[in-house]
Every structure is written in structure tokens, then in C-alpha cells.
Amino acid sequence: MGGGLGRTPMIGKKIAGFVPKEDLLAYLEAVMRVYNMYGRRDNIYKARIKILVHEIGVEEMTRQVEAEFAELRKAGALHLPLEEVARIEAYFQPPSHENLPDDSAELNKAVLADRDFANWVKSNVAQHKVPGYAIVNISLKPIGGVPGDCTSDQMDAVAGIAEKYSFDELRVTHEQNLTLAHVRKKDLHAVYDLLKAHGLATPNIGLITDQIACPGLDYCALANARSIPLAQQISERFADIERQHEIGELKINTSGCINACGHHHVGHIGILGVDKKGVEYYQVTLGGAADEKTAIGDIVGRAFTEDEVVDAIETIVTTYIGVRQNGERFIDTYRRVGIDPFKESLYETH
Ligand code: SF4
């Protein structure tokens, strides 16, 4: 793979760009072999490929993987038969969509007549590539609820809705929500009514209360701090839906420890639980993103106590509203102004 490689993104580029499809299994096997040889399986806290890459560096990791891959290819082992790829692809064919006009009179009428429905459409419904259809995101983030939780009754209800209105297809997202991938626009209000009847019509997808939180200290033996109660407090602080829409797109991700199951490092606002002499603290990062401009968030300063952290989030939001221009998103404001205004307002008041 040669020298002069950059950091992690170069590995992704190389694998995606140059491994022939039929060699994918062999390449993955090579990665696993290198990890098995050098990874820290002796230490539960360090048994991760990312730890190995961090310790030996991307270039050395790449060199080792390429050497293993070359051996596997020489042995002619682990070819991925293209017929197998075709067989698996057949499972992922799109359903038989109807030929529909893209505009739906039923939908337009319902949006005008029902403000709550209009709010839900605005935040939870996304454009579908097929005319007359839409993608429905079901929020599992009711105000004050546990992010990603769903009762058995709700699961039954959603399964029924998927069966009737979305070709029996339901997806779970990494953002701890559910997605109905193919709903006819003219059925959106009926789907909304059913979701609402089961407490599943929270109109907050992509907004400040649509947080990702790992299980944290309530359930996880590796945690330094609690994640779920903190997410609940933040949700309650920003409960007002009009205010949420006024704040706009803002992703808060919380992890209870550095293992980062809540992807705090790529949250617009990231919160990481840290342990200081047996006391739970929260380190805040800003400017992380998992979009096309992927970025790791910047640490804003000293960590906050449990009592301080929700106020700190409020201060960050207020600072953003104060400096944003022309309704730009939080992340765009951060990219424009940097960390200093946030640092100043946070450590002036905390
Ligand atoms: S990030 Fe959260 S779920 Fe993951 S290991 Fe740490 S505390 Fe546990």
C-alpha cells in the first residue's frame, strides 16, 4: 500500500477504491488476522481495532494488512463468488412501488388543517426518490424518555404499521430511532394518527432532544458516568417544541466512557463521562460531525459536574443563537466562528 498515507480516512479510501469485489472476504480476513496477532485481547478496555491502529499507526497497520492480504491472494484463498453477491443483492431489491403523482392533495390538506401534523412532517418525514412516497422517521425520543426505548406494545403497533403502510419493512437507525422506508404520501396522516395513539409521534428528528446516548453507568460495567439520566434532563430542559425548531438541527451525543458507544466525538455537542476520584464528571466537545465533512469535536475546557452540565448545554445553545447568521445550523456557525465564543461564555459563567 506504500508510504505517504494520511491518517484513518486514507485506509477507508484505499479499501473502497482498490479492493476488487471478489477479494473482499480475503481483505477482511487479513484485517482480522492482523488484529488477532497484535490486538490487546488481554485487556477488556483495549480490545478494539481502533486501539491497535492508534498504537501502531495507520501506515504500519496498512502495511501488515497488505502483507497478509498478499499471502491470502497468493494461496488463492477466500474468493467471494460473484454469484453469491448477486444472490444476496436479490434480497435487497426495492419493493413494487405504485405509479403515483408526487403531489398529494390529501397530504397538503392535512398539513394546512393540523399544526401538530405539520410540525411532525417538517421534522420526521424525508423525501423519497420514488414520486408519491415518503420516508417516515419514528422518534424514540419522547421528552424525558430513555433514548431508543420502545415498549412491547409500541413494537407490536409499529410492526402493524410497517406491514400495512410500508411494504412490511422497518429499519432501526444508529441514531436510536426507527424508519418506515416507503410510505405513500397520501397515507402519511393515517400513519401519524396511529403513531400518535401509541406515543410515537414526537416531532423532533434531528433536533436538540433527538439525542444519542449509550447505556452508561445505569447498565454498563465499563462506564465512568451515567448517560441516560443526563439525556433525560437535557430533553426536559429543551422540551418546548417551538424552541427546538427555532434552535434547528443540533445533534447531542453522550457516551459514558471513552469507548464512545454514543459517538460523542462526532456529536455537534459531544458529552463524555469521565471519572475524577470516584465522582462523575462530563467533558464537553463541540463541532464534531458525521456528515460529509466528518470531524472529531474539540474539547471546550475543564469537565463539568453533573449539576453543571445541563446549564452548560443551555449556555452553548444561547451563545450559538447569539452569533448565528441567517438561520445557519449550529454546526455551520461553529465552523465559522470556532470554539472561542463558546469557551468565553461557558467559563465566564461556570
Ligand atoms: S460508551 Fe457507554 S455503553 Fe460504551 S462502554 Fe462506555 S459506558 Fe459502556
Residues 56, 134: one domain?
no
Distance 204 CA to ligand 1 centre (A): 25
Q: Are residue 138 and residue 80 in the same domain, yes or no?
A: no
Boundary-marking domain end, from 197, 224, 254: 197
E strand or H helix at 283: strand 279-286
DSSP 317: H
Supply the pLDDT for residue 83: 87
Say how far apart CA 62 and CA 67 lie, in whole Å: 9
Report the separation in Å between the CA atom of 215 and the middle of ligand 1, taken as the mean of its atom positions. 6
Is 21 in contact with 80 (CB distance < 8 Å)? yes
Count of structural domains, the chain: 3
Distance in angstroms (rounded) separating the CA atoms of residues 234 and 254:
11
Please check whether residues 225 and 345 belong to one and the same domain.
Answer: yes
Q: Do 276 and 341 sit in the same domain of this protein? A: yes
Same domain membership, residue 335 and residue 225: yes
Q: Please give the number of the atom of ligand 1 that sits closest to the Cα of 216.
A: 7
310 CB within 6 A, ligand 1: no
Whether residue 207 lies inside any domain: the answer is: no
- Whether 253 and 188 map to the same domain: the answer is no
Query: From the CB of 270, is ligand 1 less than 6 Å away?
Result: no
How many angstroms is it from 282 CA to the middle of ligand 1? Answer: 14
Residues 126 and 225 in one domain: no
Supply 229's cell numbers. 439520566
Give the chain's residues under pLDDT 50.
1-13, 15-16, 350
Pocket lining: 222 vs ligand 1, CB cutoff 6 Å: yes
255: Cβ below 6 Å to ligand 1?
A: yes
What grid cell was written down for 84? 453469491
DSSP label of 67: H
147 C-beta closer than 6 A to ligand 1 = no
Please tell me the pTM assigned to this model: 0.84
Q: Which CATH number characterizes residue 313's domain?
A: 3.30.413.10
Q: For residues 23 and 72, state if they share a domain.
A: yes
Q: What is the CA 57 to chain-centroid distance, rounded?
A: 26
Count Cβ atoms within 10 A of the Cβ of residue 173 and give its class: 0-12 exposed, 13-18 middle, 19 or more buried. Answer: middle
Write out the H or E segment, with its range, that includes residue 183: strand 178-184
Query: Is residue 52 one of the residues assigned to a domain?
Result: yes
Q: Flag whether 100 is in a domain.
A: no
- End of a domain among 43, 67, 92? 92
Q: Does residue 202 lie in a domain region?
A: no
pLDDT recorded at residue 4: 27
Q: Are residues 235 and 152 located together in one domain of the fold?
A: no
Report yes or no on 54 lying in a domain: yes
Rg over CA atoms, the chain: 23
Do 237 and 338 belong to one domain? yes
Residue 11, pLDDT score:
38
Domain contains 98: no
Task: Report the share of the chain in percent with pLDDT over 90.
Answer: 79
- CA angle, 107 then 112 then 117, to 5°: 70
* Site to substitute for ligand 1 among 261, 271, 275, most atoms within 8 A of C-beta: 261
- The span from the CA of 310 to the CA of 302, in Å, is 15
pLDDT of residue 9: 34
Query: Is the CB of 223 within 6 Å of ligand 1?
Result: yes
Q: Report yes or no: 179 and 136 within 8 Å, Cβ to Cβ.
A: yes
Domain that holds residue 141: 105-197
Residues 268 and 327 in one domain: yes
Those residues with Cβ within 8 angstroms of residue 226's Cβ, 6 or more apart along the chain or in another chain = 216, 217, 218, 256, 273, 280, 306
pLDDT, tens only, 164-191: 999 999 999 999 999 999 999 999 999 9
CA separation for the pair 292, 250 (Å, rounded): 16
Per-residue pLDDT at 77: 75
Task: Let me know if residue 97 belongs to a domain.
Answer: no
**Does the residue 297 lie in any domain?**
yes
Which atom belonging to ligand 1 lies closest to the Cα atom of 257?
Answer: 6
pLDDT at 209: 98
In terms of domains, do 220 and 168 share one?
Answer: no
Distance 219 CA to ligand 1 centre (A): 9
pLDDT score, position 19 = 84
Residue finishing a domain among 41, 61, 92: 92
Instruction: Say what the pLDDT of residue 27 is.
Output: 92
Q: Using the mean position of ligand 1's atoms as its centre, give its distance from the Cα of residue 41 in Å.
A: 18
